[in-house]
Amino acid sequence: MVGKRKGKIIKRRVKFKGKWRIKKTVVVKDEGVSPLVKKYWVQRYDLFLRYDQGIKMDEEGWFSVTPEKIALRHASRCGGGVVIDGFAGVGGNAIQFATMCHHVIAIDIDPRKIALAFENAKIYGVEDHIEFIVGDFFQLAPSLKGNVVFLSPPWGGPAYSTKESFTLDLLKPKNGYSLFQVAQSVAPNIIMYLPRNVDLLQVEELAWLSSPPLKVEIEENMLHGMLKSITAYFGDIAFSDVSMF
């Protein structure tokens, strides 16, 4: 792979506005809320605007689901067609892809998460636009074809933020390079949702090590004035900017 010419790279910062909705007295009784995730409780309306209508999350969902405004941003960039969410979790991204009239294939290896994602999708009225599959993305990949693959694999829990630089080998269940190669066999466009401290040089490397090199756009997702996460867009969607944010 030495000597390959780098693809075109663009970087931008996107700010998402929002207000904290905090009551003076809050009694935390919801299923899935443990001492580990109580600090995420204040963010519940960032995660799902319709939280009070019956949204349910398991413990991992509290710290792994994509905030709704960021998920909507991802959906707005896809341009239609079939979107495959390889690590759907409790459905945050799949729901927003479906609200933008995409056909969504939502995959997760955990049947409990798929059940929660289905119930959450019903709250948004998009359950009929999502095909829910319990399974391993890597095993299912040879039978999958779509326009976009969305990848938000586990980051290893909240401890990811303690690392000075989050390298792609820390992604679970396989490293980011292996994951990206599999995704390329499924769709020509890839969106990766990554920690805010991810090694950006490694993310760019995914694009120019491809054959041929891919266009890549790296986006900083700002929420409440703070850097929340990084989104990388690979392929033709890398320059499909929208003006809704």
125: Cβ contacts below 8 Å, ≥ 6 apart: none
Whether the per-residue pLDDT at 79 is higher than 90: the answer is no
For the stretch 126-182, pLDDT in tens is 999 999 999 999 999 999 999 999 999 999 888 888 888 999 999 999 999 999 999
pLDDT, residue 24, reads: 37
How confident is the model over 195-220, as pLDDT tens digits? 999 999 999 999 988 888 899 999 99
- pLDDT in the model for residue 8: 56
Contact (Cβ atoms closer than 8 angstroms) between residue 150 and residue 85 = yes
pLDDT digits (tens, 9 = 90+) for 4-40: 445 555 565 565 555 444 343 344 445 545 777 777 8
151 exposure class (CB count in 10 Å sphere: 0-12, 13-18, 19+): buried
